[in-house]
């Protein structure tokens, strides 16, 4: 573990070194040095702007993620358990899976307007089909033996959900949540860039208009850092927790 | 009668389209407080019969009558524990109203007190069976269904489990249906033994055991086993 961490830190240090060299070689206009970006992050943080935009973007990420996972789980479960629902829903699902994110975003802004509902809805709709596919697989893999167990002991619906369904679906949910989170935060930036007047994506747009590379990196890097922290501190521990009961592979 | 079975026939459709008769005409009942055992060669349809009685398969001709509102306790042939819950939680989930004292007695009697916190993956088959039996008994059933509860256990484990079940069934006095190919266990536990024919299963012999079973001599038990096991 300690050695692993040491290698990671070394790798990170190498990246910073390459960045510094590239920055010096290019004269610093197109690629500001790490130190300059860090100073700018400090400035933006002190003025409160960084936290403000970050909080707004995170709020959108959470809202879109929750909506997509909740709807996706319900629809995926229904399709996995019910053949009719699967047959009717599958072509829609294939269509949605292959619809480019940009198309959904533009349509949402045109049809619903340049507002929060359209922004969050478009992001959620982009994630929705992946969640459905994953949970549908989970629902198809449910072991009928445990349904019979619930049947003969007349377990109430809540008990079935909590002790029989949820533990079997959790690995599928966790996998979907993990891939979903990274998809959602990337698309949120695009949505903000195209039609919102705040958030990290909006700041990217400002930086792009001004060709301000330092500003761009000063917003992009802390945001990536926060998303990585969520991945390591929330999503991965959740994944480990739900598969705790499985015997360890030797 | 706690349970009345009057099955005309049960058939399975094979993937190739043919019909396979699993059960023929079968009629018997289990009165209040008695233990009935169904014995028969493996593959004769015993588990199919258990599934019909438990209400897991309703596609058959005939009738299975349970008293309305009766609680069912089932121990499946494979222990069928939830692998993501501890032994104790497996029992509690099925029997949320069981008192701490009642669970303590059950765990004690089945020698599970030290395994309460273990996950099913950490238990041997014998221990998992005990948890499964404890679960079936913890719901305080009016009708207890046991499907091969002693299969694939070594001699000593099997004998101690048979004794534990005999004791609990005797003191609780619920109607019990034991499905097994183990004639000795059937003689030890049952008031009435029904011997089944090979597929499609019908009852070929009904043996009433009136002697107090725990006091039956080994010779008498062996003679009875020969009689039940003999071809009709």
Note whether B28 and B5 are within 8 A (CB): yes
- Examine the pLDDT at B211 and tell me if it is beyond 70: no
Least confident of A128-137, A196-205, B6-15, B133-142: B6-15
Within 8 A by CB and 6+ apart from A44, the residues are A50, A215, A218, A219
Give Rg (Cα) of chain A. Answer: 22
Question: What pLDDT, on a 0 to 100 scale, did the predictor assign at position A250?
Answer: 42
- Examine the pLDDT at B181 and tell me if it is beyond 70: yes
CA distance B38 to B42: 12
Least confident of A56-60, A236-240, B28-32, B86-90: A236-240
Q: Mean per-residue pLDDT for B160-178?
A: 87
Chain B neighbors of A240, CB-CB under 8 A: none
**What is the CATH topology of the domain spanning A48-242?**
MetI-like fold (1.10.3720)
Of B56, B82, B139, the CB nearest to A146: B82
Categorize the per-residue pLDDT at A232 as very low, low, confident or very high, splitting at 50, 70 and 90.
Answer: confident
Average pLDDT, chain A: 91
Q: Chain A within 8 Å of B94 (Cβ-Cβ)?
A: yes
Chain B neighbors of A247, CB-CB under 8 A: 121
- Examine the pLDDT at B214 and tell me if it is beyond 70: no
Categorize the per-residue pLDDT at A20 as very low, low, confident or very high, splitting at 50, 70 and 90.
Answer: very high
A45-49, B41-45, B188-192, B216-220, range with greatest mean pLDDT: A45-49
Place of tokens 């700018």: A40
Of B71, B82, B121, the CB nearest to A164: B82
Least confident of A40-54, A92-106, B171-185: B171-185
Q: Mean per-residue pLDDT for B140-161?
A: 88
**Percentage of residues in chain A with pLDDT exceeding 70?**
98
| B216 vs B161, residue with greater confidence | B161
Whether ipTM tops 0.95, in short, is no
Note whether B79 and B131 are within 8 A (CB): yes
Q: Mean per-residue pLDDT for A76-83?
A: 95
**Per-position DSSP letters for chain B, written without gaps between them:** --EEEEEEEEEEE-TTS-EEEEE--EEEEE-TT-EEEEE--TTSSHHHHHHHHHTS---SEEEEEE-TT--EEEE-SS----TTS-HHHHHHHH-TT--HHHHHHHHHHTT-GGGTT--GGGS-HHHHHHHHHHHHHHT--SEEEEESTTTT--HHHHHHHHHHHHHHHHHH--EEEEEES-HHHHHHH-SEEEEEPSSSB-EEEEEE--S-GGG--HHHHHHHHHHHHS--
CB–CB of B96 and A145 under 8 A?
Answer: no
Q: Chain B within 8 Å of A146 (Cβ-Cβ)?
A: yes
Alpha carbon of B83: minimum distance to chain A alpha carbons (Å): 7
Q: Chain A within 8 Å of B124 (Cβ-Cβ)?
A: no
- Examine the pLDDT at B72 and tell me if it is beyond 80: yes
Chain B neighbors of A249, CB-CB under 8 A: none
CB–CB of A155 and B93 under 8 A?
Answer: yes
Chain A neighbors of B96, CB-CB under 8 A: 159
A132-146, B28-42, B214-228, range with greatest mean pLDDT: A132-146
Q: Chain A within 8 Å of B31 (Cβ-Cβ)?
A: no
Nearest CA in chain B to A160: B93
- Examine the pLDDT at B74 and tell me if it is beyond 70: yes
Please write the tens of the pLDDT for every residue from A184-219: 989 999 999 998 999 999 999 999 999 999 999 999
CA-nearest of A101, A156, A164 to A138 is A164
Q: Mean per-residue pLDDT for A40-46?
A: 94
CA distance A243 to B1: 46
| Distances in whole angstroms, Cα of residue B36 to Cα of each of A111, A152, B224 | 70, 20, 16
- Examine the pLDDT at A32 and tell me if it is beyond 50: yes
- Give contacts of A 150-209 with B, CB under 8 A: 151-155, 159, 163-164, 167
Q: Chain A within 8 Å of B144 (Cβ-Cβ)?
A: no
- Examine the pLDDT at B231 and tell me if it is beyond 60: no
Please write the tens of the pLDDT for every residue from B76-112: 988 999 999 999 999 999 999 889 999 999 999 888 9
**Percentage of residues in chain B with pLDDT exceeding 90?**
36
| Distances in whole angstroms, Cα of residue B116 to Cα of each of A159, B99, B109 | 20, 15, 13
CB–CB of A145 and B74 under 8 A?
Answer: no
- Examine the pLDDT at B130 and tell me if it is beyond 50: yes
The model carries a pTM of 0.81
Of B80, B93, B119, the CB nearest to A245: B119
Question: What pLDDT, on a 0 to 100 scale, did the predictor assign at position A116?
Answer: 94
Question: What pLDDT, on a 0 to 100 scale, did the predictor assign at position B172?
Answer: 83
Q: Mean per-residue pLDDT for B46-72?
A: 89
Least confident of A26-40, A91-105, A140-154: A26-40
């Amino acid at each position: 573990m300690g050695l692993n961490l040491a290698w990671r830190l070394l790798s990170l240090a190498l990246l910073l070194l390459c960045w510094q060299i590239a920055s010096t070689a290019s004269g610093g206009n197109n690629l500001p040095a790490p130190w300059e970006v860090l100073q700018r992050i400090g400035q933006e943080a002190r003025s409160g702007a960084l936290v403000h935009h970050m909080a707004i973007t995170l709020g959108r990420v959470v809202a879109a993620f929750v909506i997509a996972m909740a709807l996706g789980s319900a629809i995926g479960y229904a399709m996995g358990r019910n053949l009719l629902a699967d047959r009717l829903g599958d072509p829609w699902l294939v269509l949605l899976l292959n619809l480019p994110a940009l198309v959904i975003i533009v349509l949402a802004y045109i049809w619903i307007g340049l507002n929060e509902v359209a922004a969050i809805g478009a992001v959620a709709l982009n994630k929705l089909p992946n969640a459905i596919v994953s949970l549908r697989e989970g629902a198809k893999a449910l072991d009928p033996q445990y349904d019979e167990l619930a049947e003969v002991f007349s377990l109430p619906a809540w008990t079935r959900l909590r002790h029989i369904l949820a533990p079997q679906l959790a690995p599928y949910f966790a996998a979907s949540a993990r891939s979903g989170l990274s998809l959602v935060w990337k698309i949120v930036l695009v949505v903000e860039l195209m039609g919102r007047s705040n958030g990290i994506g909006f700041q990217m747009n400002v930086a792009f208009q001004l060709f301000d590379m330092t500003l761009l990196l000063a917003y992009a890097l802390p945001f990536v850092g926060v998303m990585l922290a969520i991945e390591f501190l929330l999503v991965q521990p959740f994944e480990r927790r739900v598969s705790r009961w499985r015997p360890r592979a030797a | 009668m706690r349970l009345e079975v009057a099955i005309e026939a049960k058939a399975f459709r094979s993937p190739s389209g043919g019909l396979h008769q699993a059960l023929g005409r079968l009629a018997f009942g289990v009165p209040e407080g008695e233990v009935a055992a169904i014995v028969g060669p493996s593959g004769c349809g015993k588990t199919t019969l258990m599934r019909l009685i438990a209400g897991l398969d309703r596609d058959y001709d005939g009738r299975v009558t349970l008293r309305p509102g009766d609680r069912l306790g089932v121990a499946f042939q494979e222990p069928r524990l939830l692998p993501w819950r501890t032994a104790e939680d497996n029992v509690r989930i099925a029997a949320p109203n069981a008192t701490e004292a009642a669970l303590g007695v059950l765990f004690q009697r089945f020698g599970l007190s030290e395994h309460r916190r273990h996950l099913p993956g950490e238990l041997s088959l014998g221990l998992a069976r005990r948890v499964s039996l404890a679960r079936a008994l913890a719901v305080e059933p009016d009708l207890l269904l046991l499907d091969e509860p002693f299969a694939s256990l070594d001699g000593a484990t099997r004998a101690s489990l048979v004794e534990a079940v005999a004791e609990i069934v005797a003191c609780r006095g619920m109607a019990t249906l034991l499905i097994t190919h183990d004639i000795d266990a059937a003689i030890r536990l049952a008031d009435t033994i029904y011997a089944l024919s090979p597929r499609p299963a019908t009852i070929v012999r009904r043996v009433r055991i009136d002697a107090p079973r725990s006091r039956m001599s080994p010779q008498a038990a062996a003679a009875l086993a020969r009689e039940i096991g003999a071809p009709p």
